[in-house]
Structure 1
Amino acid sequence: MIRQVSAERLQQAQDTGYQAFQKRLIPGKENILGVRMPVLRKLAQEIVCGDWRAWLDDPAPDAWYEETMIRGIVIATAPMEQCERFARTADFVPRIDNWAVCDGVCASFDLTDRAAWWDFIQPYLHSMEEFHARFGAVMALELFEGQDDLQRTLEALAGVPAQGYNARMGVAWALSMCGVRFPKQTLDFLEQSGLDTWTHRKTLQKMLESRRLTGDFRVITQQSRNKLKSTEKPKRQTG
């Protein structure tokens, strides 16, 4: 009954225009109602204020993309011990089958205990599974705070073995954010990292897309990207 009520609330909040927009952003994902993120966060908070364990433990499958997003946000924000949060997060990660749920949920966690979270994401950073690896990469970015974290973050991201499109894009995005904040160190690292050419090029492209990259570093980044001649892209994985 709890899950039924939340599903009804989602259907009432449907925006068909936004639904069409989201379907373009998340190719192949059809079970999208089209509910905006602020509404999803509000519904998640209402669940957190009630019997959130009963909601999470209801065996009914997630019928909608939005239900999976809410599930992840509830796991990230409900009051629980860290060991339970880690266990529930580990159970949740296999449900991730698109970049939007991955990135939206990763941004919802309280990462105060950064050392424990860094240890927790290590298996995902070493996973060959496309969305497990993207989860690890995006969480590494969420944990990244500054220069003290830079080298370990760069090395962890460059070492992600998964080859799925969404995994490589997650790695490139995370590396580019390191590059925008610390362009010299990141560009120097990329030159000697052995990172595959496609991900390297995407990293430089995303650095160039950021308005925060300015001056000589923008010129150097463009020059570095121009040197990478390969146009091969990783194949999208489905299923």
Structure 2
Amino acid sequence: MHRELLSESDNMAITYEEIIDELKACVKDGLAEFSAKLTPNCGLILGVSVKDIRRIAKRLKSDYEAVLNLPHNNILEINLLKGCALGYADCDIDTKCRYLHTLAKEFKNWQETDITACSIKVKLEEKPRLWETALLLTCKNGEFEIRQGIVLILASLVDSFYINKIFEVLNRVTYGAYYVDMAAAWLLSVCYVKFPNLTSDYLFGENKLNAFTYSKALQKIIESYRVNDEDKAFIRSKRKNKS
């Protein structure tokens, strides 16, 4: 049974020490070493699963401000908790988008950006506001700010209304940073699954992808279990060098 130090019914303010105590109670042997191999620039890793981090964040959703206002530090799980807490937060989309900008400035690795972006769930009427935020992030200079914008799009905004707008965004993103390029390739693979013809037209027509992103996008499409064998053969046949 998990040790539950934090409760929505507690009257006392949540403290950093209490959060650290609960996270430490969830540490799994070997997980810190495994995560460190996958996540460069992750700082200190306690070894807590994302599942447990989400469980804690969900219970604290009414106290999301206390979590989000914790100082950014070098403990990975604290920063992941902040991202998950924002996803569960009892607040409007404007507040979530404001915090997304704040967190994106702080994040230093792909786990922090991706788990945060994939934790955000929006209603149909909230999509324009999230799109605006994602668009602004993709215009930033920071590698992980741009990546968070791209992952917000792939997690929540790949639909018939935004698909052509997505291609426009990808044509003006600044490429060359590894985690930006890989996020763009991932986004294109998601676009292909949902809109294969439109995405093929973009990939094999005029686009402003760099060679690495282009190649990785094709690779991800070919490796996707959601793409059928016929389409994979088509992508292989169209594979070419892009200078």
Normalised to the residue count of structure 2, the TM-score between the two structures is 0.86
* Corresponding residue number in structure 1 for 2:235: 221
* Corresponding residue number in structure 1 for 2:68: 56
The structure carrying a bigger helix percent of its residues is: 1
SS at match of 1:147: coil
Gaps (5+ residues) in structure 2?
Answer: 1-13
The CA RMSD over aligned residues, in Å, is 1.9
Q: 2:111 aligns with which of 94, 100, 108?
A: 100
CA contact (8 A) 1:128 1:163 kept: no
Alignment of 1:140-179 (within 5 A): 140-179=153-192
Q: Give yes or no for the alignment of 1:66 onto 2:63.
A: no
Q: 2:136 aligns with which of 102, 105, 123?
A: 123
CA contact (8 A) 2:87 2:121 kept: yes
* Corresponding residue number in structure 2 for 1:27: 40
Gaps (5+ residues) in structure 1?
Answer: 231-239
Q: 2:120 aligns with which of 109, 112, 137?
A: 109
* Corresponding residue number in structure 2 for 1:189: 202
Q: 1:42 aligns with which of 49, 55, 69?
A: 55
Normalised to the residue count of structure 1, the TM-score between the two structures is 0.87
Q: For 1:135, give the aligned amino acid.
A: Q
Specify whether residues 172 and 110 from structure 1 end up closer, same or farther in structure 2 by C-alpha distance, changes over 3 A only: same
* Corresponding residue number in structure 1 for 2:4: none
- Higher mean displacement: 8-17 or 65-74: 8-17
Q: For 2:107, give the aligned amino acid.
A: I
State, as a whole percentage, how many aligned pairs show the same letter. 25
Number of residue pairs matched? 227
CA contact (8 A) 1:106 1:142 kept: yes
CA contact (8 A) 2:210 2:242 kept: no
Q: For 2:227, give the aligned amino acid.
A: L
